[in-house]
Structure 1
Amino acid sequence: MKKHLLIALVLGLSTTICHSQVKISVQGGTGLTGITQNENYNANFGYRFGVGVEFPIDKTWSMQTGLQLLNRSYSIDEAVTALGITETGKQIYMGLGIDSKINGIYLQVPIKVAAYLPLNNNCGLQFSGGPYIALGIGGKSKLNWVLATNERYDDDDFITPSEGNGATLVNGEATHKTFDKNEGLKCLDIGLSLGVDFKYKCLFAGIGAEYSLLPIDKEFPKDLFKYSFQEDQTLVSPHNIGIEFHVGFCFNAGKR
């Protein structure tokens, strides 16, 4: 009996979707993305474009999916200093400046359940939520750093590298593919997304939030500066997180 009831429910839902007008949408916008569990990288804005398909179930509920091309990025551009005293009484000054940007391009497929709340005959609000799956397909990441050191015996005021001789400057740079197998991020991303859209006839504008359930890396320094100074070697597994803004238009694809 339960099996027959489940089959009838699935057939009824399939029939409802198949006889509804499928809606196709095109949208574009921007997203502000960052990562969790890290104290250095700041969120950056990136682009996103997509094509969506909506399968109405009734006047209120529908299923949504599609394909999106989006950019996620986060960066550091700052410097810190540290001062230590050795067993011999020497003061060691270290200044570290880092300019780093992690930039990834993803193909993303959302799978959402949506509910439409009409405000009048022409407009309304649509709330949606569900999982997404994304695959990193490109992007480059860079890291530029400068390390300045100076030391002297602890007698008078400490001399910084800009005030005296004996300073040592070391700098370096590195560029690699964001999803490189050896030193890049994980290319598979699965997460959850929530959103709300204001719809007016065939036009819509909305905002959404995303949270990744998979870490981008399992060995990521919690604090890159402390990690460089050997003060804190804590490694974390950060996740993607962000908000996105979009506008677009939709049209009916006809009855199936």
Structure 2
Amino acid sequence: MKSIYKLGVAALVFAMGLGVSAQELPKFGIEAGINLSNSSWDVDPLDKKARVGFQIGITADYAITDALHLQSGLAFTTKGAKVEGSSMIGGSRVNGEITVNQSYLQLPLYAAYKVEVMPGTKIVFNAGPYFAQGIGGKSKISGTLPILDEIATGDGNVDTYGTDGFLKRFDFGLGAGVGAEFGNIVATIRYELGLVNLSQYNNFSYKNRNAALTLGYRF
């Protein structure tokens, strides 16, 4: 939590400095939407499916010029992945399902470019890094599945993070999106590419992948 707090303070101070230099006050808002997330986890020959999640949070928009803006905020967002299927691995039959649930506090720091297409309506392109801290999540394992280097049978919930979990908490990545502003209403489609290998183990890699559709209101 300390890392995300420090990053948040640094980002907001930097953004507010830009806002002051542009003689513009930041505009705050609220935003909520749905996530469709997955991971880079290689689970061949099993099937990997996307997980539906959600996000909700506050936003901040700082005008550097009429067209160039800096966007930040803080959101609670849920991500994850789902693995299921039946196959033969190493002479053993595996059949089951793993559902990974991840909850984050996430802070983006995006540069945005706005194009006015008609009075009161703008198209917005944004991109930049995001920082996230895992704050919770339970992952469900059922059936006979390859767990690390072994074929294991299980049925129950395990912690996603922590000493008993299998993923690291801190994530960092890049996001890019396109949206539209209709007065105070903002709609955005965004994709996030996680750059951190979150796996606590050396024999598999797990990086977040997420697409989001959000609707917001700016005060």
| TM-score class normalised by the smaller sequence | 0.7 to 0.9
Structure 2 counterparts to residues 159-178 of structure 1, below 5 A? 171-178=153-160
Percent of pairs identical after alignment?
Answer: 25
8 Å CA contact retained: 1:193, 1:208: yes
Instruction: Give the C-alpha shift of residue 21 in structure 1.
Output: 3.1
- Taking the TM superposition and a 5 Å limit, the aligned residue runs for 1:201-240 are 201-217=183-199, 219=201, 235-240=203-208
The amino acid across from 2:27 in the alignment is K
Q: 1:199 aligns with which of 152, 157, 181?
A: 181
Match of 2:38 in 1: 34
Which of the numbers 69, 74, 83 marks the counterpart of 2:81? Answer: 74
TM superposition shift of 1:25: 1.5
**Pairs within 5 Å for 1:97-112:** 97-112=95-110
Contact 1:218 1:238 in 2 (8 A): no
CA contact (8 A) 2:176 2:192 kept: yes
Distance change >3 Å, CA 15–CA 101, structure 1 → 2: closer
Shift of 1:82: 6.2
| Aligned mates of 1:180, 1:110 — CA distance in 2 | 24
Query: Matches of 1:45 and 1:78 in 2, distance apart?
Result: 19
Relative to structure 1, the CA distance from residue 78 to residue 16 in structure 2 (aligned partners, 3 Å threshold; closer, same or farther) is: same
Aligned to 1:56: 63
d(CA) in 2 for partners of 1:98, 1:171: 9
Q: CA–CA distance in 2 between the matches of 1:132 and 1:140?
A: 23
State the one-letter code of the partner of 2:68. W
Once residues 101 and 65 of structure 2 are traced to their aligned partners in structure 1, the CA distance between those partners, rounded to angstroms, is 41
Instruction: Report the TM-score, using the length of structure 2 for normalisation.
Output: 0.81
Alpha-carbon separation, structure 2, partners of 1:118 and 1:102: 41
Equivalent residue letter for 1:219: Y
Matched length: 194
Q: CA deviation at 1:200?
A: 0.6
Q: Structure 1 runs of 4+ off > 6 angstroms? A: none
Structure 1 segment 127-138 matched on structure 2, within 5 A: 127-138=125-136
In structure 2, what is the equivalent of residue 116 of structure 1? 114
Q: Distance in 2 between matches of 1:54 and 1:25?
A: 8
Q: TM-score w.r.t. structure 1 length?
A: 0.70
Change (3 A) 1:208 1:14: closer
Q: Deviations over 1:24-72 (max 9, x none)?
A: 1211101111111413432111111111011111101111110010000
Please, which runs of 5 or more residues in structure 2 have no aligned partner? 1-16, 146-151
Please, which of 7, 22, 25 is the counterpart of residue 26 of structure 2?
22
Residue type of the partner of 1:20? E
- Compute the RMSD of aligned alpha carbons: 2.1
Q: For the Cα contact (< 8 Å) 1:138–1:178, is it kept in 2?
A: yes
Q: Partner residue of 1:229?
A: none
Contact 1:176 1:184 in 2 (8 A): no
Which SS does the other structure have where 2:168 is aligned?
Answer: coil
CA positional deviation for 1:128: 0.7
**Counterpart residue number, 1:90:** none
SS for the counterpart of 2:26 is strand
Which amino acid is the alignment partner of residue 65 of structure 1?
A: S
